[in-house]
Chain A
Amino acid sequence: MTSDTGFFGRLSWDAFPIAGLIQNPNANEIVANAAAAVVIVGAAAVVFLLSWFRLWGPLWRDWLTSADHKKIGIMYIVFAIVMLARGVLEGVVMRAQQAAGPGDGFLEAEHFAELFSTHGTIMIFFVAVPFVFGIANYVIPLMIGARDVAFPVMNQISLGLTVSAGMMLMVSLVVGEFSTGGWTAYPPYTGAAFNPGVGPDYWIWAIVVSGIGTTLTGINFAVTIYKLRAPGMTFMRLPMYCWTIICSSILIVFAMPPLGVAALLLAADRYLDFHFFTNDLGGNMMNYANLFWLFGHPEVYLLVLPAYGIYSEVFATFSAKRIYGYTSLVIATMSIAVLSFTVWLHHFFTMGQSALINAVFGIATMLIAIPTGVKVYDWMATLWRGRIRFSVPMLYGLAFLMLFVIGGLSGVILANPTVDYQVHNTLFLVAHFHNVLLPGVLFGLLAAYNYWFPKAFGFRLHEGWGRVTVALWTIGFMLTFLPLYFVGLMGMPRRSFSWEDPSFHPYMIVAVVGALIITAALLSVLVQLWVSIRDRDKTRVPVGDPWDGRSLEWSIPAPPPPYNFAIIPQVTARDDFATAKERGTAYPTPDAYEDIEMPRNTGIGFILCVTSGIWMFALVWWIWWLAALMTVAMILAFIIWTFGTSTEITIPAEEVRKEHEAWLALVHRETAVDRDHETATENRGLARPDMEVVT
């Protein structure tokens, strides 16, 4: 820490990218300024549109202050998709740089390093995590028959912290620069001695604050599933998706602290001149590598397990069969969760451990292929002789099954330390983890988006555009990342802004074409949404069960009322709703209704979002008075909030009865459709069951 602390800390006009453009106009500065301009214009456009349509009031009342898990889930997903757009574009710029031929391309080395650092940070922490949480937020309470999560206000705070941390990455485009140390931010490179600028500080505080948000969410989901299940919903009757979210939550609770410790100790090194990871005075940077990957490996599974859960629901529903091997899937999920804590060292086989230790971690890593293999076979057995519909989520699922196996097998190859010595730090590794993260996590989340969208908004997404999107993602993924396996084996290092070997060139060209197709896929997601909203009157499903679903979320209206269930269901079987439809006991008329207490709106999440954002900015720029002020503000805001007594509103039984009876009347009025007309206009969300009852 220096004494350079004016009123604005170390913030000056040079921090804005326009200064660089004026001093030194070139392609590199133009790209940087264009990115900053997109952020500013985007923010201005949002403000303008909200003002033009007079939406500030509704935005505040219905969304920002809402503690409803469904709205919070939707906000998480909107945030994730905004960040996804940035992450994808950064990927395209990187592929373009490498495709520009042997030599230095059009970007400067520092700028390229910033790009792969933000790309990784954004895609993991601000796309995959919030997207997973968004889906889980929306679906989990509906699946277990609950009216909200265990801690609705904490849920809102989690969202606020995640968003404010994500905003720091946006701010870093406009003010100063982001870290060049990769998403892993290894010291001593990111330490004060080598990297005195603001970049690593943006990374640190974004990670710390979003990490707190993530931890709170993990606690929230774990407690929700443990404690708020409807009567009769025993653990072995939970839908598979709930099981994967339990396992993810356990991973979050135990795996986020190592990341927090790593980032905070790095902050102590940078801000207070401590010696945790420095080269001198006894610092030990291997501690950082261990801490980071103690988090990093479970992180991969906390992202992919929920996707496994989504595929389990999708395969069962669109095969019109009970999921095959439920118990084995539960055991496999738990096994993966436990094993994920025993393999972190495989991320740095080459960093000086003994051969024995490498062998132990290599074998532990290969063991994970066993439960994962169990899952793949269970999914295939679910498809076997099912009444399969090739709807959009199912297509994502099939693309996943084929591509993910390739990614998994390349992981087994990497798990062998002797092989890893050859290919570590090459594009082979980049190909491997994109091969598990895109078909694994992203396709799963997009499948979930298509699958549960009609539940959330009351109308189906456009099927044709959905199929186009699947095709574009799949082809784009294959063209972009499969060539990287080959250049990786040929020895091309990852994160190279410049390369010389002409034999890499054809692969780089193919990869950039793939990246453009992925951009088209992203646009196609937005076009699908636009077309679907435009044609929503043709695809409405007010009854709420468009896919002949199996679990409780399909047994309520679409969109669901704020309280989800007019009466809390009594669960009697696994796949309770499917069983009820078979028996003809679905849509029962309740005898009596009760008053329902729901969490009241509160601004605490938004207040913490804004104050934590300013707090992070102040710390990054050494504006100490502001950081201290915001610390006090956050603590006081929280304490004052705890004095609030009226935290719930009551929805009278009469109102619930009216709404529910109107919906039941609709259910009896509509005609049920069979699966051949699933995508037709007459599918109003009432399914004619045509599945076999498997007992």
Chain B
Amino acid sequence: MKRAPTHSYPGINLGERHASAHKASEVVTFGFWVFLMSDLVYFGLMFAIYITMIDAQAGGPGPHELFDLKSIFAQTMILLTSSLTVGLAMLALKYNLPRSKIILWFGVTLFLGLSFLVLEIRDFMAMVEKGGIPQRSGFLSVFYGLVPLHGLHVAAGCVWLIVLGIQLRVMGMTDLVISRVVRLALFWHFLDLIWIGIITIVYFGGLTYG
């Protein structure tokens, strides 16, 4: 049984240019995929609960009063662009561009991630002003259980970008650091995937059925 040597896990593989790092990252990247699947179940369940509780507004404010699609559009564009920039960091790594290029794209991604969080928090504050607090109804409870959970993941991703950026400078391009870049890129794309679910189910679904 001979495995294809260049493609040992889904997504962009490091390939032959990084023989030792590619080998080292095979096990951890596969493990990270398994972790992401487990994390995906968390979100899947929250989506399911959201769907069951769209109507549980208990006379409080609902999606039509609270959701601001302009802001959601801006957040979506920012997050999708950040997925592109983290992808460019990954390509810079794969094709052995200078380390500074990776750090540069990390920086851009971090800026976009933080911008996303700022817009999201502004949205929440606007909702709170209209009486949209989680203590008001089951619908708002699950909204605040789900959307900020994604925001928390983005925040964790931002911390990871900072820490890994420092490690790229301090520890250099070791196999360990390289494999972390691969996993961070996967994680960031995962955040995007969840966001697509959120705009579809939470925002569009909420406005349609709420």
How many of A's residues come within 8 Å of B, CB to CB? 42
Give the residue among B30, B46, B57 with the most A Cβ atoms within 10 A: B30
**Residue from B139, B142, B167 having most chain A Cβ neighbours under 10 A:** B142
Whether B139 pairs with A282 at a CB distance below 8 angstroms is yes
Q: Which residues of B contact A218 (CB under 8 A)?
A: 38
A151 at interface (Cβ–Cβ under 8 A)? yes
Interface size on B, residues (CB 8 A): 42
Please indicate the chain A residues that have their CB under 8 angstroms from the CB of B41 in the complex. 253-254, 257-258
Q: What is the distance, in angstroms, from A448's C-beta to the closest C-beta of chain B?
A: 25
A215 part of interface (Cβ distance < 8 Å): yes
The answer to whether A284 touches B26, judged by C-beta atoms less than 8 angstroms apart, is no
| Known A261-B46, A274-B135, A281-B58; contact A215-B145, beta-carbon cutoff 8 A | no
B135 contacts across to A, CB distance below 8 A: 272-275
Q: Which residues of B contact A226 (CB under 8 A)?
A: 30
Contact across chains for B145 and A265 when beta carbons are under 8 A apart = yes
Let me know if A645 is at the binding interface, CB within 8 A: yes
* CB pair A219 B145 closer than 8 Å: no
CB-based nearest A residue for B43 = A257
* B77 in contact (CB, < 8 A): no
Indicate if the CB atoms of B30 and A215 lie closer than 8 Å.
Answer: no
Once A223-B27, A228-B27 are accepted as A-B contacts, the answer to whether A276 and B45 lie under 8 Å apart by CB is no
B26 contacts A261, CB within 8 Å? no
Given contacts A260-B42, A275-B137, A291-B45, contact A253 B37 (CB under 8 A): yes
Q: Would B136 and A257 count as touching, CB distance under 8 A?
A: no
- Asked whether B144 is an interface residue with its Cβ less than 8 Å from the other chain, the reply is yes
B12 at the interface (CB under 8 A from A): no
The A-contacting residues of B in range 22-65, CB under 8 angstroms, are 26-28, 30-31, 34-35, 37-39, 41-42, 45-46, 49, 52-53, 55-58, 60
Q: Interface digits, A273-317 against B, CB 8 Å rule (1 contact, 0 not)?
A: 111101011111001000100100000000000000000000000
User: B residues within 8 A CB of A258?
Assistant: 41, 45
Q: Secondary structure of the B side of the interface?
A: helix
Q: How far is the CB of A634 from chain B (nearest CB, A)?
A: 13
Interface residues of A in 203-258 (CB under 8 A from B): 215, 218-220, 222-223, 226-228, 234, 253-254, 256-258
Of B34, B140, B171, B180, which is within 8 A of A645 by CB? B171
Interface majority SS (helix, strand, loop, mixed), chain A: helix
Smallest CB gap from A274: residue in B: B141
Within the complex, the shortest CB–CB distance from A283 to chain B, in Å, comes to 5
CA distance A78 to B81 in the complex (A): 51
- Contacts A261-B45, A645-B174; is A282 near B137 (CB within 8 Å)? yes
Q: With a CB–CB cut-off of 8 A, which chain A residues contact B134?
A: 268, 272-275
Q: How far is the CB of B171 from chain A (nearest CB, A)?
A: 6
Contacts of A220 on B, CB cut-off 8 Å? Answer: 31
Task: Tell me whether B170 is interfacial, beta carbon within 8 Å.
Answer: yes
- Report the bound CA distance from A269 to B49 in whole Å: 15
A23: CB under 8 A from chain B? no
Residue on B with the closest CB to A223? B31
Q: Hey, what's the 0/1 contact readout for B170-210 against A, CB within 8 Å counting as 1?
A: 11001010001000000000000000000000000000000
Q: Is the CB of A219 within 8 A of B141?
A: no
For B26, what are the chain A residues with a Cβ–Cβ distance below 8 Å? 227
Q: Are A276's CB and B137's CB within 8 A?
A: no
Bound-state CA distance A647–B175 (Å) is: 12
A353 at interface by CB-CB < 8 Å: no
Are the C-beta atoms of B35 and A219 separated by less than 8 Å?
Answer: yes
Residues of A within 8 A of B37 (CB): 253-254
Least CB distance, A229 to chain B, in whole angstroms:
11
CB neighbours (8 Å) of A268 from chain B are: 134, 141, 145
Contact bitstring B1-33, A, C-beta under 8 A = 1, else 0: 100000000000000000000000011101100
Interface assignment of A150: CB less than 8 Å from any CB of chain B: yes
Asked if A194 CB lies within 8 Å of chain B CBs, one says no
* Residue contact B27 to A287, C-beta cutoff 8 Å: no
Q: For residue A281, which residues in chain B have a CB less than 8 angstroms away from its CB?
A: 56, 58, 60, 136-138
Whether B138 and A222, one on each chain, are in contact in the complex, defined by CB atoms closer than 8 angstroms, is: no
Contacts of B52 in A (CB 8 A): 284, 287
Q: Is A642 part of the binding interface, using a Cβ–Cβ cutoff of 8 Å? A: yes
Q: Which residues of A contact B38 (CB under 8 A)?
A: 215, 218-219, 253-254, 256-257
**Chain B contacts of A645 at CB under 8 A?**
171, 174, 176
CA distance A275 to B140 in the complex (A): 8
Q: Could you show 13 A-B contacts with beta carbons less than 8 Å apart?
A: A150-B27, A151-B31, A227-B26, A227-B30, A253-B34, A260-B42, A273-B134, A276-B145, A281-B137, A284-B56, A287-B53, A643-B167, A645-B174
- 6 interchain residue pairs of minimum CB distance: A282-B56, A282-B138, A257-B41, A274-B141, A223-B31, A282-B58
